[in-house]
Structure 1
């Protein structure tokens, strides 16, 4: 297909998106390649980013192609070619088979994943958000066989509960209390994994041997049975999050002031609001309110005088709100009742607490 025809089709795709006639139409990225050789370390998200303005929509780019029925079967060395099927861009592959001098087929490297799970591996169990009342009812570490106040792997600690012999346990330090930024509603308590252990002697006071340590365990830390539902799926299918009202960035996992690409943040909505792992949000910063001063010169919020602030409060005629500013997108990977955790997959600008999270439909019109 020649370049002129591709441009015509691309214009047609954009027009359909603008008028809402085809919500599933993909928008190709300007200057996209026609072919791509899969490399070790690639993910489906990364590869789709070479072709699409919205790489989170990789299931549409790959999913309907009969040659790639299972996206996990894409391997390093495979050649991917962009074609158009029924007017829609699709990726097809040509397998790359390595042969020795005698024609022996060599084993390939592992199939590439949707996203790099190593990025969120530390958060599989380390961070949870739970109700404070529920947490208060969990057993705690009383002390240990060692006189030290800090316990590490191999130490035995005492827990104030009769726990089944052999039970696997996770021990958590109490973290931040999260409040809704607008209503002040308590959204839960962050708890951070310090160690894992196993009950080696039951009784009114159980003995627990620490099997692994991420940080030192201290008295007063909560002891929680390891449950299957605290783990996560190894595969995520991105989909646009559609909520009746925007979510917001509640906190940054590493407690920094700002977060960027491939960093983790907390959201102020969770399972109660319908969030699911794989939901994708566009991240926006609220547009500034600009006040027109006495001299007719626009004044930004950070430069306002007391008079400017009064004008902004009482006079709508001299105040203009500029459009919200796009900062990136994130994918939800772990969901709690009232909060969730998301990985920033693309960052145009630094992400901060209170940034707004909305349905990412309009990303189709933005360059990267």
Structure 2
């Protein structure tokens, strides 16, 4: 074997080994601190944002460290120090111990969460996406003891079903109907919690006393027995979403045209497609198709004439699709059969309906 061939083989071996190391290496942010004191109101995602290019990878930053094996053991006042273990960046902590007047250790509460739960708590409890057939089968509010059309806390409403006395119920307002923007497939009906109540008298028509209200209850709203899974886990371990086909932003929870950082959106994929709570997606806007006109001048979609639109359909050699544009990332926190809810954790640009959701870039580039 000649020297040239030996050098080629050696270079290939080194390249493969470097790639293997990079594939499992966290990328630190330029100008990151060496230490950090945890403050009240911090989240695991926030803290990782001081150190990592991709904050959602915080489990790898400290997950293998026995001192922080359980992220819930991180409290305000703890000092985190960046070290390197086997070449990997890790956060280790020096616990802040508060002592009482007699020198006894005072237990702490208020361990910091993965994300700010206040941002998603209403959606964990209130919003669901259900099949229209299921919704049609549920009992409904017929009217109430009060002559008002709007019923609130303490009011009694009538329901067209014989329900057990003492049964706790949730009352839902029908919302938007969702469908796949490309195939037209029915993805379900949004329902929004308006009140909770308890059955006080039963028969062909039962009485329900409203025990809480998030918004006014009206006739026609669905009445659903409270299920055991109504209380969902609020702890999320972020992992890269890897679906066979991209997901898309289906709608914004606020019903606005756009959404930004720390706002909630619906996705057009759910359990049936393999989406799970904690899945992280990168958000991309489709790149434009630029057409060359008769003079060879590039024409963007917003400036196309009727002729340019025709060319875009029939002349592949005159159409150029520019790269998709990165807009941020989101994490799924609640999943239904065909849809899910996600919180936008990073937003470089406004997020819109139909934006594409794919595996986070760092994993694609590094081959994880």
CA distance in 1, matches of 2:280, 2:17: 19
Shift in CA distance, 16/175, structure 1 to aligned 2, threshold 3 Å: farther
1:11-90 to 2 correspondences below 5 Å: 19=19, 23-90=23-90
Paired position in structure 1 for 2:114: 114
1:220-299 to 2 correspondences below 5 Å: 220-299=220-299
* 1:144 is the counterpart of 2:147: no
CA distance in 2, matches of 1:344, 1:92: 28
Shift in CA distance, 316/160, structure 1 to aligned 2, threshold 3 Å: same
- What whole-Å deviation, never above 9, does each CA across 1:253-293 have from its counterpart, x for those lacking one? 01000001111000001000111100000000000011122
CA distance in 1, matches of 2:57, 2:16: 17
Paired position in structure 2 for 1:196: 196
CA distance in 2, matches of 1:288, 1:29: 31
Paired position in structure 1 for 2:154: 154
CA distance in 2, matches of 1:18, 1:137: 59
Query: Given the two structures, how large is their TM-score scaled by the length of structure 2?
Result: 0.91
- What whole-Å deviation, never above 9, does each CA across 1:197-246 have from its counterpart, x for those lacking one? 01111211110000111111111100011112233212100000110010
Paired position in structure 2 for 1:357: 357
Shift, 1:106, TM fit: 5.3
Question: Structure 1, unaligned stretches of length 5 or more?
Answer: 1-14
Q: CA RMSD in A?
A: 2.0
Q: After TM superposition, which residue ranges in structure 1, 4 or more long, deviate above 6 angstroms?
A: 15-18, 363-366
Helix, strand or coil at the partner of 2:212: strand
Paired position in structure 2 for 1:329: 329
Question: Structure 2, unaligned stretches of length 5 or more?
Answer: 1-14
| Count of aligned pairs between the two proteins | 352
Shift, 1:84, TM fit: 0.5
Helix, strand or coil at the partner of 1:165: coil
Shift in CA distance, 46/345, structure 1 to aligned 2, threshold 3 Å: same
- What whole-Å deviation, never above 9, does each CA across 1:15-40 have from its counterpart, x for those lacking one? 88994665432111111111111010
CA distance in 2, matches of 1:133, 1:103: 63
Paired position in structure 2 for 1:8: none
Paired position in structure 1 for 2:11: none
Instruction: State which drifts further: 294-303 or 83-92.
Output: 294-303
Query: Given the two structures, how large is their TM-score scaled by the length of structure 1?
Result: 0.91
